[in-house]
Amino acid sequence: MSSETKQILTTDGIPLEVSLKKAEKKNKIKAFLLAAPLLLFLVITYIFPIGEMFMRSVDDRMVTNMLPKTFQEMEKWENLEELPPEEVYRAFYEDYKLLVEKQQHGKLGQRLNKEKNGFNTITKKLFRQIKRKKIDESASLKEQINKLHKRWRNVEYWQAIKRTAPPYTMAKYLKGMDMYLAADGGIAQVEEDRRIHRILWLRTLEIAFFVTLFCFLMGYPIAHLLATLPMKYSNLLMICVLLPFWTSLLVRTASWMILLQQQGIVNDFFVMIGLVTDDNRPEMMYNKVGTYVAMTQILLPFMVLPLYSVMKTISPSLMRAGKSLGGTPFVAFWKVYFPLTIPGIGAGCLLVFILAIGYYITPALVGGASGTLISNQIAFHMKTTLDWSFASAMGLMLLTGVLVIYWIYNKLVGVDNIKLG
């Protein structure tokens, strides 16, 4: 016999090791083909839209393509604190005149107006002068353009044009934090009276946190009651918890608007029991109070259900054992029962917080100016200003914030400890 180990062959004469590798490869291909529809679905509905949002948020090629000569001359503009030289004015005029001929000048004015307010007005003035052929191309274009409107003599407008030169930019993300790229290339903050986005971010986190806290404080005893009552009673109460899911979100929000208004049922009850006077009814609509109340009621089932599913698996004998070992009911609850419910608490809090941080309809209807969240600002730019690139940037910032919160939760508590049932 040879010193080498004799190969084991299958019935068809193929080495067993080769045959096993082929079989394993076939099984992997089959498993991949089974998961391929789900993977394709995730790519189309999740990964691709996020990628498209990111590209839209950083893409600034429109102005670059519309003003090629202008940006070429602006590279020679050295003293950015003074108005650009004649060559820049002439290049801008030639680029803009070509856009007028192609009837694309309106898009440029709208885009530059998002960079700095007032561009739409001054570009329209230049457009009218070009159409009436009142611009003498043989004379100084700098003097003629500056005479059209005082804003052309403001160096900040030319600096704004220069900021749009890069085809890809992170300016929208800076704008979402009330900052912008300065003329010298650094990062600066906007004027104090225009810093609204940071306030919205903090308000969104604040409302999401307190709504989560209120849902936990109300949902924990409800879930405990559902888990400890006899089945026939707990089923009836569970129907009451699930009942809001059978009603439209818009209808529930409108109902709270009727209940919380100054002449509503809640205020009438406060007056009836003498808690407040009729001429001093509290305002509970179009402020944070209305947002807290409505969002807490709407999101409460998302806290109760995970808690209930975990509490139902905890044996009542554990509490009796804690009491029999000398612990008071509170000590037995805190040392024995409460730690066992932490997976449900984590799941409920994470679920409610993520839903609350991106809520839109309820804050828009009952929140008013002081209850507006960042999601309402995203919708405003999508539907009103049509600044989709800025809305995309803010949407990605919100998504990144949620992922960071999820990562922190995983580090502190552990995602493996989450239990939904």
Q: What domains, with CATH codes, occur in the chain?
A: 61-167 (no CATH), 197-417 (1.10.3720.10)
Sign of CA dihedral 55, 56, 58, 59: positive
In 3D space, the residue among 117, 140, 110 whose CA is nearest the CA of residue 127 turns out to be: 110
pLDDT of residue 221: 92
* Bridge partners for 59 per DSSP: 168
Here the tokens at position 248 are 């439209």
pLDDT of residue 215: 94
Distances from the Cα of 386 to the Cα of 137, 175, 361, 413, angstroms: 35, 16, 19, 41
pLDDT of residue 240: 85
Q: Quote the CA–CA distance of 119 and 344 in Å, as a whole number.
A: 54
pLDDT of residue 14: 74
Residue 239, C-beta contacts closer than 8 angstroms, at least 6 positions apart: none
pLDDT of residue 296: 92
Per-residue pLDDT of the chain (421 residues; tens, 9 = 90+): 444 456 676 667 777 777 788 888 888 898 888 889 989 998 898 888 888 888 888 888 888 889 999 998 888 888 888 899 999 999 999 999 999 888 888 888 888 888 888 888 898 888 888 888 888 888 888 898 998 889 999 988 998 888 888 888 888 888 888 887 776 667 888 888 778 888 889 999 999 999 999 999 999 999 999 888 888 888 888 888 888 888 888 888 888 888 888 888 888 888 888 888 878 888 888 888 888 999 999 999 999 988 998 888 888 787 778 777 777 878 888 888 888 888 888 888 888 998 999 888 888 888 877 778 888 888 888 888 778 888 899 999 998 888 888 888 777 766 666 655 5
- 3-state SS, residue 185: coil
Predicted TM-score (pTM) of this structure: 0.78
Burial 318-345 (b: 16+ CB within 10 A, else e): ebeebeeeebeeeebbeebbeeebebbb
In 3D space, the residue among 396, 377, 373 whose CA is nearest the CA of residue 387 turns out to be: 377
Q: Quote the CA–CA distance of 216 and 224 in Å, as a whole number.
A: 12
pLDDT of residue 207: 92
Identify the helix (H) or strand (E) that includes residue 181. Answer: strand 179-181
Burial 361-381 (b: 16+ CB within 10 A, else e): bbbbbbbbeebbbbbbbbeeb
Q: Quote the CA–CA distance of 74 and 144 in Å, as a whole number.
A: 19
Cβ neighbours, 10 Å, residue 350: 21
Using alpha carbons only, give the angle 180, 183, 189 rounded to the nearest 5 degrees: 30
CB 409 within 8 A of CB 418: no
Phi and psi at residue 179, to the nearest 5°: -130, 170
Residue 74, C-beta contacts closer than 8 angstroms, at least 6 positions apart: 84, 88, 161, 162, 165
Burial 222-248 (b: 16+ CB within 10 A, else e): bbbebbeeeeeebeeebeebeebeeee
pLDDT of residue 183: 66
Instruction: Identify the DSSP state of 337.
Output: I
Q: Quote the CA–CA distance of 61 and 282 in Å, as a whole number.
A: 52
Give burial (CB, 10 Å; 0-12/13-18/19+) of 314: middle
pLDDT of residue 420: 54
